[in-house]
């Protein structure tokens, strides 16, 4: 909603991004980009799909796709769980 004279300048967007990151307590990488609204749906991909399962990445095959194709059993812990939950699940899995 900012005018192009402001939003088309990287440095202004960069500082604006830093303020938003602090206000909303975002962690990790966060940066606002100047992308036309009509293209935004093509960039709205992050964490909507689980990358760590067969078919998780639409553009290419992954090791998980390859394991399924080869009939190879594999295990991948759930990255959404805490480390304690993963360790507990791994211990009960091995028994």
pLDDT tens digits, residue range 47-84? 667 778 888 887 788 899 999 999 999 888 888 889 99
* 62 lies in the same domain as 86: yes
Identify the three-state secondary structure at position 59: coil
CB 32 within 8 A of CB 20: yes
Number of domains the chain contains:
2
Measured distance CA(14)–CA(27) in Å, rounded: 15
Nearest-5° angle of CA 20, CA 27, CA 5?
30
* 36 lies in the same domain as 52: no
* 31 lies in the same domain as 63: no
pLDDT tens digits, residue range 7-41? 778 888 788 888 888 888 877 777 777 677 677 67
* 54 lies in the same domain as 75: yes
* 67 lies in the same domain as 80: yes
Residue 62's Cα: distance from chain center in Å? 16
For residue 61, the enclosing domain spans: 48-95
CB 63 within 8 A of CB 73: no
């Amino acid at each position: 909603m900012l005018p192009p004279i402001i939003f088309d300048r990287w440095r202004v967007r960069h500082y604006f991004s830093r303020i938003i990151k602090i206000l909303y307590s975002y962690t990790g990488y966060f940066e606002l980009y100047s992308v036309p609204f009509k293209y935004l749906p093509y960039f709205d991909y992050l964490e909507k799909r689980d990358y760590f399962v067969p078919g998780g990445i639409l553009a290419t095959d992954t090791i998980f796709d390859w394991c399924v194709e080869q009939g190879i059993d594999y295990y991948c812990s759930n990255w959404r769980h805490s480390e304690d939950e993963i360790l507990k699940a791994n211990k009960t899995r091995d028994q």
